[in-house]
Every structure is written in structure tokens, then in C-alpha cells.
Structure 1
């Protein structure tokens, strides 16, 4: 697996998003299968493992911690904090649920130490603020997070789901290694403001949902019911929008077939060609799909192919609103 640099943090070119190992995201999860999936990811070279304290109320961090026990030096461990289930401020409605955050500086230490305990490690490689708190200047939150870096409990800081202005403000307080946000061939909004700022400041970008919640991989034929599959509440997976999106993105599937690669590989390879400081984190529970995703790091798309992809999937082509 090739490596990439996120402003000082070297990781695999493609990471692994562990959120898919949570019940209620893409259906039921087999607890015995999840550790095997993580082991396979590491064995195959996906060394950036991404989780969050909000995934299954901390259980996802515990799962990741158990899976990497004895293999800590083989991975770059990323987690997030800031989402709360009571109190806080509502910042978004997603998955048909409110997303509430509490990014007060006094909570940072408590959150970091709780994540360290669940993960069973001494240091977090990349620690993100999951969502900015609308009642707290991001500079204040990052300032508190930076104290954990100085104490050696965190190596690098990041932000998730933020604006370009928030990145600039936070980066002046403490250098950011990476920003995480939704980015794919059906969600290209970061190209307008966020990505130019990150490139100017030398900050890496970690796209979440790089396969459009499975749509770009062709795995949206069977959507589970609400409560077991979050896509049941996603605007782009509503029946009318989903039908329109299948038609609109059909030419991309045909292009992948022409190039003798899978649609997922085309989507991931396109992302990797957007800059050498992007590290997508697709998630899957299937080892064969994991191998397929990671093989995208070896695919070279020529200028004509990249131009054609841009014509077939311009910004705004997807029917339905983005998730956030």
C-alpha cells in the first residue's frame, strides 16, 4: 500500500472507516466478524483506522481497541469527540436523528482520556473535533485539545465537518494535520472553498463516505428499513431520488467497465487523483470488497479519463440533498 502525508502524519493512501461496524448503520453487525474485518484491513495495508466516541456510544472504540491489541505500532489511530447524546447544542438532523454537540474546552480532557481507555492505548495519533460547537469559538476548543498534544496523549489534531473559515481560525491556534468531511463524486461541495484553503495551509483532507454510502460502489439495490440502515432516511436514497441517481450515474458505471475496473475503484481512484494529501476512508464488512477498495490506490487515471469523469459527474448532479 502506498503512503500519504497528512501534514506530518504518514498513513496508508486509503484508510478504513470503522463506523460501518456499528449496528444500525448498514444493518446488523456480527460481533465475531468485525474484529476479523479490522485485522484483514490492517493485513491488507489500510493502516489509518478511523472511529469516534459517538459510534455506538463508545462501543466502536472498544471494538477497534481490542482488534489492534498487540498491533498498535502497525496502525495510525484516529478518533473524534464532541457529539453528545444529552444536552449540548443541535447542529444537524441526520439519520432522522438530532446531532447534538458539546465542544466546551473543559470537556476536551475528559473526552480524550475516555477514548484512550476504550481504545486501550497511551496515545491517539489523530484526534478530531467531530462537529464544531455553535456556542464555542473553534479556537477555544482547539486550544484545549492542544493541551493533550503537549502532554503526549495526542499526536496530531484535526477538525471534522467544518467550514474553511473555521479551519483558518483553528489552524492559527495549533497546526492541523487533517480535516475530515464528506467528499465523493456525488458530493463535491468541498471543492468550492474548503479544499483550496486546505491546500494553501498544507492540511490534509480525509473524505468520509467516499463511495456515497455505497451508492457509487453499486451496493444500493437493497436498502434496509429505518432503524437498521441509515440510508432509509437519506434524501438521496428516497425512491424517486434513488431512481434518478441510478440513471444519472449510469455513465460512470459504463466508464468503469470500459477501464476494466469496478465502479468503487473508479470513484476512489478519482478521489486519490484530486491531490496527494487526500486519504479516503471507505468502510466495508466484506474482505473481498476491502481488497477491491484498497486496489484503487494502484490505479492510474489519465487526463482524458479524469476529464470525462468530471463531465459525467459534475458538482450538483446527484438528486436529493446531501446528508449534512
Structure 2
């Protein structure tokens, strides 16, 4: 494994573990024992950055992470998120993929910190992140004053911002980096979905901010295992995507075989992201031991050559030579999946944030 600094005094593995995948049910069902085992396997393969949120199954994600890593706390970096109302009443009121209610009021934020510390079983959170904040939250001086107080009190080491499509995204990310001393910003970014990540990275270089990248494999597309005939099982969020997402994605992948002579496609996708020095870590969707071995092994394969990076950019500029499909709804303006025609729940909540409804 290779390591980078995500903040002063905070070194993380280039490949991290976001436990949304194994604790929320959107990638299938995992028992608590299975989820704990995958966390421990990840650590055994050199992964030291683990990311979760209090909103993942109303604190369950934090509980699993805390149980799995209790014996190695001093050897790992823990990130979690806050800003949603995770009370039972708020959960019951939600429908489908509808975004849960936000609550960045100081009362809720203080309770959220104590709750996260308790569920994680730690005295200090290494990276505490605002979860999909909007502009008003980033402009709340009282909130950021409290974050500084929490840091001075030793309850958090650093704070950052986690961005999600449409619910706090490009404008919010730029604003956070330019107006607040956030240690890190988490965003969705991958070889197939480069915008608005490229703009966020440009500001990160300007402000000397480090980035954590989630969805580096474009919801599994860049793992190279999907075909146009793939049928996703019940409980897999990709089952709700339009067929055009699958067909177009597979055809784009077919243009990337030049990356796989010395690496798997999944490893190449990670090394492409890590070619940017302002990316500290990646958070692939991990749901098996085989994936842990493959993704951790990205540290042992060659970095992408300049000609490979240039070819990817040329392909991206021409949409990888793929004509957009004729599906009624293909994708929203930020690259997040739209509603499936005929699926009432998705149609009502097509604007739900990817990070809540689909991608941690």
C-alpha cells in the first residue's frame, strides 16, 4: 500500500474503505459478522482510512466500523459525517430515495458528535465531515466556531466537507475551499464521470486542499465485470438505473483495453485518480475479499504513463465514441442516475443525492 497525507499529521492509505456499501443494503445484504470481517480484511491488506456517516442506517455503519477496528484504533484513520436528522421520526417520514431532513443546528450537531464518538467507541474522530451541506450551512459562522471548539477540545482532529450531486456539490465545494479552512473535501469522481470533479480539483490546487474520492469505479462499471446483458439482483441500487446507463457504460469500457496490459481495469481506474497529487485517497465500493485484494494491489502496478492519461482525456472529450442512448431518462445534469421510466418511487425522488440514495 502507498500512503499520502490528507491533512497535517494525518496519513491515509491511497485506497480506503467506505462502509456505506456493506451497511446500508443498497449493494445487497451483509450480516454484521460479514461486514466486520471485510473491515478487518481491508486493514490486513494495508488499508488504514475508513469512512462512514451517522446517517448510514441510523448509526449502524459507525457501530460496525467501531467494532471491527477497536483493536487497531491507533493504526487507522476514521472519517465520519454529520448534518442529517437520524432520529426515528425523521426516518419513518422518508419515502424511497427521498433525502432525509438536514439539521446543522448547534444542538443537533453537538448531539451528533457525541453520538458518533459513542458508536465508534473512540475519544476523537480524525476527520469529521459536513454531509452534503448547502451554502447556508457553509456560511454559518456559529457552526464553524463550534467545529474549532471541538478540535481544540480534542474531540476531532480535522473537519472537512463531503459533497453529493445536487445536494451540495460544485458551488458548495468551491465555496468551502475558498472561505473555510477545511482539511479535506470528499467528492464523486472517476474516469467516466470527470465533471465537476475537474473544477473542484483545480480549486483544491489553488487552496492546497486534499481530496478524498468516492465512486472511483463509476458504480462498478470500471471494475470491468458488467455486460449489456447484466441483470442486477434485488436490493442492488443499480437495478433502478435506466438500461442506457448500462449499455453506454459497457461500450465506453470497451475503448479502455489499452489500460489493462499491466493492471486490471479496476486498478487502472484507481491509478488514474491518484495521478493527481491533490487526491489523498480513494473510496471504492468494496463488497468482497477479492476486491480488497485487487484494489489494495493497485499500489503494486505501474502508474499511468503520460500517453495513457492523454488518451483518456481525448476519449472523454468525445464521449468515448459512444452515442447517447434513446432512453427516456438517462442521467441528471451532474451525472447521477435519473429515474427509471415506470418506477414510481424513483420518478418521485430522481433528484435524491447520490450519496444518500446511491453512493455513500
TM-score tier, shorter chain, comes to 0.7 to 0.9
Task: Let me know the Cα RMSD of the aligned residues.
Answer: 2.5
Per-residue deviation, residues 271-311 of structure 1 (Å, max 9, x unmatched)? 01122533111131211211111111333111111111222
Matched, 1:231 2:238: yes
Q: Which residues of structure 1 form unaligned runs of 5+?
A: none
Q: 1:137 and 1:48, CA in 2 relative to 1: closer, same or farther beyond 3 A?
A: closer
Range moving further from structure 2, 198-207 or 293-302: 293-302
CA distance in structure 2 between the partners assigned to 1:276 and 1:196 by the alignment: 9
Range moving further from structure 2, 152-161 or 291-300: 291-300
CA distance in structure 1 between the partners assigned to 2:178 and 2:224 by the alignment: 41
For residue 173 of structure 1, report the CA deviation from its aligned partner. 6.6
Q: 1:173 and 1:311, CA in 2 relative to 1: closer, same or farther beyond 3 A?
A: closer
TM-score of the superposed pair, with normalisation by structure 1: 0.88
Match in the other structure for 2:280: 278
CA distance in structure 1 between the partners assigned to 2:138 and 2:317 by the alignment: 34
SS in structure 2 of the partner of residue 28 of structure 1:
coil
Contact 1:249–1:313 (CA<8 Å) still a contact in 2?
Answer: no
Match in the other structure for 2:4: 4
Per-residue deviation, residues 42-93 of structure 1 (Å, max 9, x unmatched)? 11111000000011110010000000111101100000011225789xxxx9
For residue 213 of structure 1, report the CA deviation from its aligned partner. 1.2
Range moving further from structure 2, 272-281 or 181-190: 272-281
For residue 137 of structure 1, report the CA deviation from its aligned partner. 4.2
Match in the other structure for 2:193: 187
For residue 134 of structure 1, report the CA deviation from its aligned partner. 5.4
TM-score of the superposed pair, with normalisation by structure 2: 0.79
For residue 176 of structure 1, report the CA deviation from its aligned partner. 1.5
Match in the other structure for 1:309: 312
Contact 1:37–1:287 (CA<8 Å) still a contact in 2?
Answer: yes
- Map 1:292-307 → 2, pairs under 5 A: 292-298=294-300, 299-307=302-310
Match in the other structure for 2:103: 102
For residue 190 of structure 1, report the CA deviation from its aligned partner. 3.0
Contact 2:129–2:160 (CA<8 Å) still a contact in 1?
Answer: yes
* 2:263 counterpart (249, 256, 261): 261
Match in the other structure for 1:177: 183
Per-residue deviation, residues 158-209 of structure 1 (Å, max 9, x unmatched)? 0011456544654577522110011011221134431111111111101111
Q: 1:20 and 1:315, CA in 2 relative to 1: closer, same or farther beyond 3 A?
A: farther
Contact 1:207–1:279 (CA<8 Å) still a contact in 2?
Answer: yes
SS in structure 1 of the partner of residue 44 of structure 2:
helix
Contact 2:211–2:278 (CA<8 Å) still a contact in 1?
Answer: no
Per-residue deviation, residues 83-132 of structure 1 (Å, max 9, x unmatched)? 225789xxxx9973334322223322111110000000000000000111
Contact 2:12–2:280 (CA<8 Å) still a contact in 1?
Answer: no
Contact 2:15–2:47 (CA<8 Å) still a contact in 1?
Answer: yes
Q: 1:245 and 1:167, CA in 2 relative to 1: closer, same or farther beyond 3 A?
A: closer
Give the aligned length: 313
Matched, 1:248 2:252: yes
For residue 27 of structure 1, report the CA deviation from its aligned partner. 0.9
Q: 1:316 and 1:127, CA in 2 relative to 1: closer, same or farther beyond 3 A?
A: farther
SS in structure 2 of the partner of residue 97 of structure 1:
coil
Q: Which residues of structure 2 form unaligned runs of 5+?
A: 325-329, 337-353, 355-360
CA distance in structure 2 between the partners assigned to 1:101 and 1:315 by the alignment: 38
